[in-house]
Amino acid sequence: MTPGSRGQKVAVIGAGIIGVCAANALADEGYRVEVIDPVLPGSPEQCSYGNAGGLSPGSCIPNAMPGIARQVPGMLLDPEGPIGLRLLDLPHALPWLLRFLWNSRLSRVRRIADGMIALNRLTLECYEPLLREAGCADLILHRGQLFAYENPKGPEGSALSIALRRERGVKVEILNAAQMRDLEPAINPDYCAGVFLPEQGQCPNPGRLVEAIARLAARKGVLFTRQRAKALVLDQGRVTGVATEAGVALADKVVVAAGAFSGPFARQAGVRVPLISERGYHIMLPHAKTGLRVNVNAAERKFVAAPMEGGLRLSGTVEFARPSAPPNWRRAEILLSQARHMFPGADLRGMTPWMGNRPGTPDSIPVIECAPRHDNVILAFGHGHQGLMGGSVTGRLVADLATGRPCPIDMTHFRSDRF
């Protein structure tokens, strides 16, 4: 038990991957922890349930890369394209999109890549002991990650991404058509060139992973309260707990880990973050026995095919819509047509679609800090496309921030005053 934690209570808002990893790490420090969330950890309502399972210590490529400004209009106009934006939602998304484009300058991209790798580099190192302790070490597979191209010169067009990775020590292999066949015979030979990152991992069931960490935390005494947090409670200018529909959960410290819904809590703690829901979709294909082994990112079509415990999962698309807007299942059908192309002849019957809210910041990096004006409020949200891999590390950082121990990585990347 760390000296500061003795007897102290922490309320964690949100039981997604970030919230459960934080709760578990705080319990290890000796805090009494209560996690507040209306839904169960690992349930389909969470973004953490339906992702592609990528656990990539070498992940350092921001979503806004140089040249994206030229590509976005075409992507938006293409009904089968990877980005969706309803005109009605344009005023809601525009300020965020402008910041996103501003971050695509090369100088910003290099700095962002440093922030991303600082966090992601430790993902497997942090997950492995955690999952062993939780009794589910089988939830990490070390198979590498493949970017598959239909254009044989595709990898040349990704020269900047490859350089950014290599500069940061990530092993990258360029594959020709024959090497692609050897590595992943399950996919259509139209994919004739590849970029393979052999040191990356994948999780075959992200929902089970969240649930297992929550169970582990519960065994250590963490209390899970199925309530919606309404607001932070302040007393004489200091945060003293969290108001829920059932009353007030008093706490010495509060962790805000409500994913895409963290904004109002952060604002109460005096922090404004440009956070948007980048809605993503997946389809599960339970009968598609393709034999796929590695997570395959279709580089031009921008989706991920992943072998999961429940079948084949295709995921992707970014849709800017208010979180309250109903899902647009047309986006899931687009994924089905991508599956038809990548896995010709596979049995694609019985598809189940899913939609989740990625907590997106315009620079692809989360906010992880003690709120500058409320040092007993720890912000841990905005992990965007990388929150599964960011979870184990963020949990440890939250524990460091809570105890006042120095963090092992440069935390300036994750401060909210960068916006």
Q: Which residues bind ligand FAD (CB under 6 A)?
A: 13-19, 36-39, 45-48, 51-54, 228-229, 257-259, 261, 280, 282, 315-316, 356-359, 381, 383-389
d(CA 86, CA 93): 10
Residue 77 C-beta: closest distance to ligand FAD, Å: 22
Residue 371 C-beta: closest distance to ligand FAD, Å: 17
Residue 230 C-beta: closest distance to ligand FAD, Å: 7
Amino acid at position 46, single letter: Q
By C-beta, is 192 or 288 nearer to ligand FAD? Answer: 288
By C-beta, is 27 or 249 nearer to ligand FAD? Answer: 249
By C-beta, is 41 or 154 nearer to ligand FAD? Answer: 41
Residue 290 C-beta: closest distance to ligand FAD, Å: 18
By C-beta, is 119 or 193 nearer to ligand FAD? Answer: 119
By C-beta, is 138 or 190 nearer to ligand FAD? Answer: 138
d(CA 103, CA 146): 26
- Report residue 240 CA to chain centroid gap: 29
Output the CA–CA distances (angstroms, integers) from residue 359 to 108, 291, 393, in the order listed: 20, 32, 17
Q: What is the DSSP string of 150-194?
A: SSTTHHHHTHHHHHHHHHTT---EEE-HHHHHHH-TTS-TT--EE
Amino acid at position 325, single letter: A
* Cβ contact 342:331 at 8 Å: no
Residue 78 C-beta: closest distance to ligand FAD, Å: 19
Residue 139 C-beta: closest distance to ligand FAD, Å: 13
The pair of three-digit structure tokens given for residue 268, joined into one six-digit string: 């109460």
Residue 198 C-beta: closest distance to ligand FAD, Å: 17
What residue ranges in 94-144 does DSSP mark as E strands? none
Output the CA–CA distances (angstroms, integers) from residue 309 to 26, 128, 200, 287, in the order listed: 30, 19, 19, 12
Residue 31 C-beta: closest distance to ligand FAD, Å: 19
The pair of three-digit structure tokens given for residue 62, joined into one six-digit string: 């921001």
| Helical (H) or strand (E) element with 295 | strand 295-298
Output the CA–CA distances (angstroms, integers) from residue 199 to 128, 184, 196, 407, in the order listed: 14, 16, 9, 25
By C-beta, is 32 or 385 nearer to ligand FAD? Answer: 385
* Cβ contact 415:363 at 8 Å: no
By C-beta, is 192 or 200 nearer to ligand FAD? Answer: 200
By C-beta, is 8 or 59 nearer to ligand FAD? Answer: 59
Amino acid at position 155, single letter: P
CA 173-161-409 angle, 5° bins: 100
